A and B are shown apart, each in its own frame.
Chain A
Amino acid sequence: MTAAVPGAADAVPAAAAAAEAAPGAARRRSGLFPPLRGLLPLGLLLVLWQLTAARLPLYFPPPTDWAVGLRELWDAGLLLPAAAATVRTFGLGLGAAIVLGTAVGLAVGASPAVDRALRPTLEFARAMPPAAVVPIATLLLGFTATMKVVVVTSAALWSILLNTRSGLRQVDPVLLDAARSLHLRGSERLRKVVLPALLPSVFVGVRIAAPVALVITLLVEILTQVDGIGALIGLSQRNFQFARGYGLILVAALFSLAVNALVSTLQEYVLRHHPPAG
């Protein structure tokens, strides 16, 4: 799955995702990452870029300059705070999306009436392209850190909500019966039975939501210039510091790879310890 926007394929059955994430035969044969010799074309391209850079327009600086640009940013004390701001917005936005998505998912999943009543509103809200949310969010919340987090949460929420909702329908009725015959109270039932059974579904949602949260974090930063790596990218471009711009794009790519690695590690861990029912 690509680092996508909230889309039609948000809801993935937990069982299917489990099969995909499990170290199955097909997976093992092809490996998690394709053969490293496949890096050759990219390497050649970069070498060619480096060699012909003198004849390219100014906005295609040679790759070695990218590192110099990053070094400048680091020396100026700009890189680390920007990276921290991006990580913070990403973390808070995703965290809020997990809490809110699970809570609303539980609410609409538990009651068909609530589900039916909220469905059109939720469908509409889900279809809003995050880019259009940004100007409205700045209108209501100003150019603030809160605005950034709200936008990220509003985009990352949906896959978690939908997977929680569909996960709730797949919880083994026997488990619920057992909880009832043990006379567990509502909160206990939720904590001891429902949430553990839902964990794999929630994590499928998180796996889709995490890359979305990162992309939207960068999007808000580029559009509003509040702070973070995205704001620095915009700033570098406006000041014609193209080498810095490419260096920062590289940093953003590293973030994206890190998020993907983190999420698949977490997912494998969760699926190993809480295999989905059915």
Chain B
Amino acid sequence: MRRAADGLRRVNVAGLLTMLALLGVWETAVRAASLQLTTLPPPSAVAARAGDLLLSGTLVADLLHTLQVTLLGWLLAGVIGVTLGLFLGLWRPAWRWSMASLELLRAVPPITLVPMALFVFGFSVRTELTLVVYASTWPVLVNTLEGARAVRPELRDVARTLRLSRWQTLRKVVLPAAAPSILVGLQLGLSLALVLAIVAELVGNPAGLGQGLVLAQLALRPEEMFVYFFTIGLLGIGLNAALRVLVARIPGTTPYGRRES
């Protein structure tokens, strides 16, 4: 009973009403000024088009493509970023002899590499995946590194006192202590992965939601553009929420990746 009441209270009625009201304003505004605003479709047209695209299966296929590349790229970036980050965070000479290079490389906005990657890998899913992995590795790497370096010296002393092996120290002391920071990096990496996937699909890869958006634009179908636009937004929200749920199930962490003390 109490849970049901809580659930009801957690539904943000005012918020949902505001959203609906905004949609209503949009609808009436477009209908009132339909001659001037030929580019802006009313929400009802967008919804109708969304129904068509859902039934024909194109929207789902595009969604799955973008989802797959984003997740695969993000997972690869997670493995690479955490491994490199731990290595650089724990082994001082490696940090000293390479960190300045990494800081400079990191200053190159991954977005600027998109045209180059398009040329090297062609209009393919390889371009998309490479860009996604490259861009989302950085936040994971940097946050893992910071997390590993910030492990309190007392904890390391404890590990030494207990005569833990290097592997045990890593698994039982460093990783748990650095976990909140790593999770923040993974969260940032996930949003970046989606952005880069969409960018790659917009400019070159012949598949996915980004490509659908471009095709709708070329076909001069504004309502279809909005369908893809909102789908991309929902995908972003869904991915973020899924990650939060996952993180919340890891013992000892809060949904925001910060450890409760």
Contacts and interface: CB of A to CB of B under 8 A. Distances in A.
Do A and B belong to a common assembly?
yes
B108 A237 contact: no
Contacts of B102: 38
Given A121-B19, A124-B237, A128-B233, A136 B226 contact: yes
B196 to A, nearest CB: 8
A136 B223 CA distance: 10
Contacts of A173: none
A136 B22 contact: no
A36 B237 CA distance: 41
Contact of B108 (A37, A118, A253): A253
A249 B138 contact: no
B188 A9 contact: yes
Contact of B236 (A116, A121, A128): A128
Contacts of B236: 127-129
Interface in A230-255: 230, 233-234, 236-238, 242, 245-246, 248-249, 252-254
Interface in A136-152: 136, 138-140
B112 A124 contact: no
A219 to B, nearest CB: 5
Given A34-B96, A41-B97, A130-B195, A249 B188 contact: no
A231 to B, nearest CB: 10
A43 B100 CA distance: 11
Given A34-B95, A260-B107, A237 B112 contact: no
Given A3-B109, A118-B18, A124-B237, A9 B115 contact: no
Contacts of B198: 129, 131-132
Dominant secondary structure at the A interface: helix
A131 B195 contact: yes
A162 interface: no
B222 A139 contact: yes
Contacts of A37: 96-97, 100
Contact of A218 (B16, B111, B194): B111
B15 A121 contact: yes
A236 to B, nearest CB: 8
A8 interface: yes
A132 B191 contact: no
Contacts of B194: 129
Contacts of B104: 39, 42, 253, 257
Chain B interface size, under 10 / 10 to 19 / 20 to 34 / 35 or more: 35 or more
A34 B214 CA distance: 43
Contact of B210 (A119, A123, A128, A132): A132
Given A121-B18, A219-B111, A41 B232 contact: no
Contacts of B214: 135
B225 A135 contact: yes
B229 A132 contact: yes
Contacts of A260: 107
A130 B17 CA distance: 26
B192 interface: yes
Contact of B14 (A43, A117, A222, A249): A117
A34 B15 contact: no
Interface stretch (B52-60, B116-124, B155-163, B170-178): B116-124
A123 B125 CA distance: 30
B29 interface: no
Interface string B161-204: 00000000000000000000000100110111011001100110
Contacts of B109: 3, 214-215, 218, 252-253, 256
Interface in A205-228: 214-215, 218-219, 222-223
B63 interface: no
Interface in B110-152: 111-116, 118-120, 138-139, 142
Contacts of B99: 34-35, 38
Given A43-B101, A118-B15, A140-B40, 10 more contacts: A4-B139, A5-B188, A8-B243, A38-B102, A39-B104, A119-B12, A135-B229, A136-B226, A230-B111, A242-B119
Q: Which 7 A-B pairs have the closest CB atoms?
A: A38-B100, A42-B101, A34-B99, A237-B115, A120-B15, A7-B191, A131-B198
